[in-house]
């Protein structure tokens, strides 16, 4: 058996090696402004962008076989980097993208760059970028951002989204991808259909999250007149309030359960439903939670 | 008025309400008036022709309905035995197969997720029609469906 397995493994390794060799190395660079807008698109493989203190964009990696080439166009204020697909079809075309192998883009860019990244199944990783906006869209690729960009706008269909890095605003929507956010931003907005949303932040002023069947978990301290709106159909909602909470709380579920360290759970004499309507402290912040069948938990941390 | 206040007011509509005045004396007065023999006799006499007519209409309607139902029983018997949830699941499986056969495979799972979510949201809204937040979730699910459709067009 061993004598049969060894040649087979060697053949497989040889096959894998030849595929890797098929990739064409990339090595390009452009001088750009410190706040350059960079648009990057790659269908499959990976896109990795990291910031540095130089006004220059450097692109390395490998171009997968089957792709038409790497297009790098633009000037100092705007640069487009695209792994081109074979044929003249749109970049999302299934027929032509299935003919390409994975391309790997490793990009160094000025820290203040504004990034717009589009992928289909390619994973996206961004670090040390702190420009005005970081905008990433993917179909199934995993998105991992550790960025202090002022605003984050993320869209994914089924890929998961992991976010770190402080800033002002974040907005994420997915269909089935999970969302994990661990950073400090004032305004947070998350929407998903079946993904789970997990948020851990020190303080926040606006938190809006909705899901049909995914769970929502929020841990942090709402400041001042913060507004928290969360709703699910069947997903559970867990809110952990860090520090002294001062808020008007309105929570309601049609057939789920409610557990709360604040206020008293009300159940009507007739008909379904449970709710809480309570004011904690001076009630400046407003906490609104709705579910149809999901459980609600509001805890003091 | 903010959304927050609107929701609170809608919730308050659902609760029990106390009448502004004591209604019982008036109810009691009407009840005692209804039980006076002369008045009852007059009213009963006055309503007999109507009751007979209504009975006839009902009998004819029930008869016609029974006949039509009898004709349809044979054709729908197999469907009656199937639970709605099973029908729903069957429909979803069928839809997934159609999508897998014709659509972009990268979008099929998302299409199925959206189909299931839409169906469950409709069901939830039927049970809790005053839930504004469910309408919001339905709208967002439709927006995701439009986004997916745009991607599907790009893919073709």
Sequential pLDDT tens for chain B (156 residues) = 666 666 666 666 666 667 778 888 888 888 888 766 554 444 444 555 555 555 555 544 444 434 433 333 333 333 333 445 555 666 666 666 665 555 667 788 898 999 999 999 999 999 999 899 999 999 999 999 998 888 776 665
The confidence score (pLDDT) of residue B96 equals 60
Pairing type for strands A285-291 and A247-253 reads: parallel
Cβ proximity of A263 and A280 under 8 Å: yes
ipTM higher than threshold 0.95: no
Cβ proximity of A264 and A279 under 8 Å: no
Residue A267 CB neighbours (<10 A): 10
Q: Do B131 and A194 touch (CB under 8 A)?
A: no
Q: What residues in chain A have per-residue pLDDT under 70? A: 1-22, 87-98
Residue of B8, B11, B110 lying closest to A157 (CB–CB): B110
A171 touching B (Cβ < 8 Å): no
Q: Do B124 and A293 touch (CB under 8 A)?
A: yes
Distance between B153 CA and the closest CA of chain A, angstroms: 9
CA dihedral B16, B20, B22, B24 (to 10 degrees): -50
The confidence score (pLDDT) of residue B155 equals 60
Please report residues of A whose CB lies closer than 8 A to that of B155.
90, 92-94
Q: Express each pLDDT in A33-47 by its tens digit.
A: 999 999 999 999 999
Please report residues of B whose CB lies closer than 8 A to that of A270.
16
Interface test with B, best of A89, A233, A296 (most B CBs within 10 A): A233
The confidence score (pLDDT) of residue B63 equals 45
A277 touching B (Cβ < 8 Å): yes
Distance between A237 CA and the closest CA of chain B, angstroms: 14
Closest of A136, A166, A144, A146 to residue A40, by C-alpha: A136
The residues with which A290 forms a beta bridge, in sequence order, are: A231, A252
CA angle, residues A154, A216, A267, in degrees to nearest 5: 145
The confidence score (pLDDT) of residue B87 equals 59
Cβ proximity of A48 and A106 under 8 Å: yes
The packing angle between helices B132-155 and B105-127, to 10°, is 160
Structure tokens at A6: 């060894």
CA distance A279 to A284: 9
Q: Do A292 and B16 touch (CB under 8 A)?
A: no
The confidence score (pLDDT) of residue B75 equals 34
pTM score: 0.74
Residue of A92, A173, A252 lying closest to B151 (CB–CB): A92
CB pairs under 8 A between A and B: 96
Distance between B59 CA and the closest CA of chain A, angstroms: 36
- The helix/strand/coil state of A215 is coil
Pairing type for strands A247-253 and A274-280 reads: antiparallel
The confidence score (pLDDT) of residue A173 equals 95
- The helix/strand/coil state of A134 is strand
- The helix/strand/coil state of A77 is coil
Please report residues of B whose CB lies closer than 8 A to that of A212.
117, 120-121, 137, 141
Structure tokens at A154: 């993320």
Distance between A42 CA and the closest CA of chain B, angstroms: 15
CA distance A98 to A94: 6
Q: Do A158 and B109 touch (CB under 8 A)?
A: yes
The confidence score (pLDDT) of residue B70 equals 39
């Amino acid at each position: 058996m061993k004598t049969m397995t060894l040649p087979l493994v060697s053949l497989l390794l040889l096959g894998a090696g030849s595929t890797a060799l098929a990739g064409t190395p990339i090595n390009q660079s452009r001088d750009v402004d410190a706040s350059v807008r960079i648009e990057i698109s790659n269908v499959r493989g990976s896109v990795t962008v990291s910031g540095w203190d130089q006004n220059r964009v450097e692109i390395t990696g490998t171009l997968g076989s089957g792709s038409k080439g790497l297009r790098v166009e633009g000037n100092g204020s705007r640069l487009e980097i695209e792994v081109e697909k074979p044929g003249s079809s749109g970049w999302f075309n299934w027929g032509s993208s299935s003919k390409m192998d994975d391309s790997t883009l490793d990009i160094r860019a000025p820290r203040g760059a504004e990034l717009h990244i589009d992928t289909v199944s390619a994973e996206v990783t961004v670090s040390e970028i702190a420009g005005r906006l970081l905008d990433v869209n993917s179909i199934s690729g995993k998105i991992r951002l550790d960025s202090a960009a002022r605003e984050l706008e993320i869209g994914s269909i089924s890929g998961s989204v992991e976010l770190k890095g402080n800033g002002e605003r974040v907005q994420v929507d997915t269909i089935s991808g999970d969302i994990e956010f661990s950073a400090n931003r004032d305004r947070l907005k998350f929407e998903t259909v079946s993904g789970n949303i997990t948020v851990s932040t020190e303080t926040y002023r606006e938190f809006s999250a909705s899901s049909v069947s995914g769970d929502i978990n929020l841990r942090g301290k709402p400041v001042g007149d913060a507004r928290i709106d969360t709703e699910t159909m069947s997903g559970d909602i867990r809110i952990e309030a860090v520090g002294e909470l001062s808020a008007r709380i309105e929570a309601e579920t049609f057939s789920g359960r409610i557990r709360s360290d604040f206020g008293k759970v009300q159940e009507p004499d007739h008909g379904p439903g449970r709710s809480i309507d309570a004011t904690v402290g001076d009630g400046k912040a407003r906490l609104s939670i709705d579910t149809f069948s999901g459980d609600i938990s509001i805890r003091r941390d | 008025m903010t959304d927050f206040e609107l929701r609170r007011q809608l919730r308050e509509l659902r609760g029990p309400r106390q009448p502004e005045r004591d209604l019982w004396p008036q109810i009691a007065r009407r009840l005692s008036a209804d039980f006076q023999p002369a008045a009852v006799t007059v009213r009963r006499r006055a309503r007999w022709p109507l009751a007979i007519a209504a009975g006839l209409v009902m009998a004819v309607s029930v008869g016609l309905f029974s006949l039509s139902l009898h004709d349809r029983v044979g054709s729908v018997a197999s469907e009656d035995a199937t639970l709605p949830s099973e029908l729903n699941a069957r429909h979803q499986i069928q839809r997934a197969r159609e999508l897998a056969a014709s659509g972009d495979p990268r979008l099929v799972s998302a299409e199925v997720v959206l189909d299931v979510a839409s169906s469950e949201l409709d069901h939830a809204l039927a049970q809790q029609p005053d839930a504004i937040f469910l309408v919001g979730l339905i709208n967002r699910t439709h927006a995701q469906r439009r986004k997916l459709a745009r991607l599907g067009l790009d893919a073709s």
